[in-house]
């Protein structure tokens, strides 16, 4: 395949699409699959045959349309009408009325000027609702693989890295390490073999961004990885996906096959000397494998246990070779940056945190779903304008960002800007982008207990602070909830949290107490309300910290 071939393919596909007066795309992401989009698809197809409209419109499965709670969703092109709660009857009406007579269905129509859509800025999710998730031709027609072509034919690896650096792209997995810098280290590493790894082990409960990207636009990730491979001089890529995402694995397999068939992966890509292949590795369900060193060990078929850094994976990663490891969303940003230039990307977001971030909003919020917003957007906007606030009769209490290792952000900090640095100032973190909205029906101590239970179960057991510490944190919280704890227990809990945080080996342990610490910081009164009053009992032996620790 040459660049000309690619353009020709794109034009051919665009011409094919132009033949249809209407293109009806239904959301085929896991959220809508569970709401019953298969029935909708079958009914749409049946109605088209019944009414003999198959030359006029086509039915396509697309990526996540965002409003997962209102599914199944259907979008009609070219007039961009979005329908919610589409059942079999509504599906038939879409064909009969909208396609047949050009009349929109008023009862199911969603307003695209609604803040939910209007406040968003889509880069990573730009193809959601536009292309068929399982067709490489449609991806190419939407400028797909154009960035890879540009990199291979017009740029040297240093220039590619330079562009990524100038764009200011930072790791979207949560830590926010500058991607260009990471790639540069790997490129400079001297080795006969280097690797590119994609971290798609999205273990945070409440997070489904990576899954949606892989399901809706898998080629974007492959393209980003191939560009990374070219930039650092690697010819082998691995995608580590969790086994809980069968649909994403399926779509990735299809996408890799399609790309290999067209020569966009494999030998002599775009007639250059560059060759690159990508393999899938399926995780077997361990949260700690989202940690990069643990993930790499898991890719090698070992037990997924983290190891001490440095050396970092960029120096000694897979089989001790220099390895680039980035998150799905990071790779998904690469192609648009090369296509549109670093200056375009750097203008979006804030100065230090450029670009956009995809969030998965869930929990007690009116409109859960998948959103993409520019960095630095106030949290209030995400919760109330986009998420629609909490359900009737309840009040917003906190937003929990960053999964079990993140922190809770209370009402008084609602105006905080959502970027890497600002979130850290309130003890939360960007994380991979899961955001759970908690309302006043939940008790924060119990929420903290839930998170500590999670971390306790998922601790790999390698280092003692994490293995024993998380267990004790959990037991102390349990004691507080049962009403058996005293103030000295509370003090001890705080001390223990700091200890676990500072002495654990990997990210899991270091961030495990965050949930507890941030709830203590902002919702201390809820803890205090559950403590036993220390009237006269302070000196009894069972209240001394030592016995409390032993009991725990």
Chain residues binding another protein by CB under 8 A are 30-31, 33-35, 67-69, 71, 202-208, 211, 243-245, 283-287, 301-305, 360, 362-364, 368-370, 400, 403-404, 434, 436-438, 442, 447, 450-451, 454, 458, 460
The nearest distance, CB 381 to another protein, in angstroms, is: 19
User: Is the CB of residue 119 less than 8 Å from the CB of residue 385?
Assistant: yes
The nearest distance, CB 11 to another protein, in angstroms, is: 37
The nearest distance, CB 535 to another protein, in angstroms, is: 33
173 versus 229: smaller Cβ distance to another protein: 173
157 versus 290: smaller Cβ distance to another protein: 290
176 versus 515: smaller Cβ distance to another protein: 515
- Read off φ and ψ for residue 324, nearest 5 degrees: -90, 125
336 versus 427: smaller Cβ distance to another protein: 427
The nearest distance, CB 199 to another protein, in angstroms, is: 15
| Three-state secondary structure of 128-144 | CCCCECCCHHHHHHCCC
Report d(CA 78, CA 137) in Å as an integer.
Answer: 19
Query: Please, what's the b/e burial string for 446-455 (b: 16 or more CB within 10 A of its CB; e: otherwise)?
Result: ebbbebbbbb
43 versus 70: smaller Cβ distance to another protein: 70
* Helical spans, DSSP H, in 19-135: 30-35, 37-51, 88-93, 100-101, 115-118
Report d(CA 2, CA 149) in Å as an integer.
Answer: 8
The nearest distance, CB 21 to another protein, in angstroms, is: 32
The nearest distance, CB 243 to another protein, in angstroms, is: 5
The residues, ordered by sequence, that sit 6+ positions from 226 with a Cβ below 8 Å of its Cβ are 148, 237, 264, 265, 269, 276, 278
Provide long-range contacts, Cβ within 8 A and 24+ apart, for 520-526.
Answer: 520/448, 520/493, 520/494, 521/427, 522/398, 522/408, 522/409, 522/410, 522/412, 522/444, 523/398, 523/408, 523/410, 523/444, 523/445, 526/443, 526/444, 526/445
Tokens of 455: 């971390």
377 versus 438: smaller Cβ distance to another protein: 438
Report d(CA 89, CA 87) in Å as an integer.
Answer: 6
Report d(CA 6, CA 2) in Å as an integer.
Answer: 6
178 versus 205: smaller Cβ distance to another protein: 205
- The three-state secondary structure class of 402 is coil
The nearest distance, CB 435 to another protein, in angstroms, is: 10
The nearest distance, CB 455 to another protein, in angstroms, is: 12
The nearest distance, CB 92 to another protein, in angstroms, is: 23
- Read off φ and ψ for residue 357, nearest 5 degrees: -135, 140
* Helical spans, DSSP H, in 341-440: 342-347, 379-380, 420-425
The nearest distance, CB 223 to another protein, in angstroms, is: 23
The nearest distance, CB 281 to another protein, in angstroms, is: 13
User: Is the CB of residue 516 less than 8 Å from the CB of residue 452?
Assistant: yes
229 versus 507: smaller Cβ distance to another protein: 507
337 versus 438: smaller Cβ distance to another protein: 438
β-bridge partners, 181: none
126 versus 244: smaller Cβ distance to another protein: 244
User: Is the CB of residue 180 less than 8 Å from the CB of residue 161?
Assistant: yes
Report d(CA 239, CA 219) in Å as an integer.
Answer: 12
Q: Which residue has the tokens 């929420």?
A: 447
180 versus 363: smaller Cβ distance to another protein: 363
């Amino acid at each position: 395949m040459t660049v000309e071939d690619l353009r020709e393919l794109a034009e051919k596909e665009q011409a094919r699409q132009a033949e249809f007066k209407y293109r009806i795309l239904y959301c085929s992401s896991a959220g809508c699959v569970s709401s019953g989009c298969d029935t909708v698809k079958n009914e749409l197809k049946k109605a088209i045959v019944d009414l003999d409209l198959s030359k006029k419109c086509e039915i396509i499965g697309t990526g996540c349309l965002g409003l997962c709670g209102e599914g199944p969703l259907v979008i009609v092109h070219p007039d961009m009408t979005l329908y919610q709660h589409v059942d079999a009857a509504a599906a038939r009406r879409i064909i009969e009325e909208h396609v047949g007579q050009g009349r929109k269905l008023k009862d199911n129509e969603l307003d695209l000027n609604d803040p939910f859509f209007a406040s968003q800025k889509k880069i990573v999710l730009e193809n959601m609702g536009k292309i068929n998730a399982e067709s490489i031709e449609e991806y190419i027609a939407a400028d797909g693989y154009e960035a890879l072509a540009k990199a291979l034919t017009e740029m040297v690896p240093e220039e590619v890295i330079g562009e990524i650096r100038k764009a200011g792209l930072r790791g979207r997995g949560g830590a926010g390490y500058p991607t260009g810098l990471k790639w540069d280290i790997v490129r400079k590493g001297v080795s006969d073999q280097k690797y590119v790894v994609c971290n798609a082990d999205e273990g945070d409960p409440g997070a489904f961004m990576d899954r949606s990207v892989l399901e809706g636009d898998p080629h974007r990730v492959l393209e980003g990885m191939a560009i990374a491979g070219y930039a650092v001089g690697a010819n082998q890529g691995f995608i580590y996906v969790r086994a809980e995402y069968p649909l994403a694995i399926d779509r990735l397999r299809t996408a890799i096959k399609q790309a290999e068939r067209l020569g966009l992966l494999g030998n002599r890509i775009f007639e250059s000397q560059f060759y690159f292949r990508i393999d899938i590795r399926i995780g077997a369900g361990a949260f700690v494998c989202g940690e990069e060193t643990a993930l790499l060990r898991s890719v090698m078929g070992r037990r997924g246990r983290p190891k001490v850094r440095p050396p970092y994976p960029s120096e000694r990663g897979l089989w001790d070779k220099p390895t680039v490891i980035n998150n799905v969303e990071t790779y998904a940003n690469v192609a648009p940056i090369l296509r549109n230039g670093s200056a375009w990307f750097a203008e979006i977001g804030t100065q230090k945190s450029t670009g956009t971030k995809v969030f998965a909003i869930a929990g007690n919020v009116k409109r859960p779903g998948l959103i993409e917003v520019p960095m630095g957007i106030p949290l209030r906007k995400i919760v109330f304008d986009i998420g629609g606030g909490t359900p009737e009769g309840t009040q917003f209490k906190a937003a929990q960002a960053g999964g079990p290792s993140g922190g809770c952000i209370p009402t008084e900090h609602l105006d905080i800007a959502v970027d890497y640095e600002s979130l850290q100032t309130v003890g939360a973190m960007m994380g991979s982008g899961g955001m759970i909205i908690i309302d006043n029906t939940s008790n924060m101590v119990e929420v903290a207990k839930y998170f500590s239970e999670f971390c306790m179960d998922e601790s790999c057991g390698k280092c003692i602070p994490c293995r024993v510490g998380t267990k004790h944190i959990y037991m102390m919280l349990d004691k507080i909830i049962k009403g058996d704890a005293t103030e000295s227990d509370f003090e001890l809990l705080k001390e223990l949290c700091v200890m676990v945080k500072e002495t654990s080996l990997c990210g899991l342990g270091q961030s495990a107490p965050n949930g507890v610490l941030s709830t203590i910081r902002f919702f201390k009164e809820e803890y205090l309300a559950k403590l036993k009053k220390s009237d006269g009992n302070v000196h009894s032996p069972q209240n001394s910290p030592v016995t409390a620790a032993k009991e725990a």
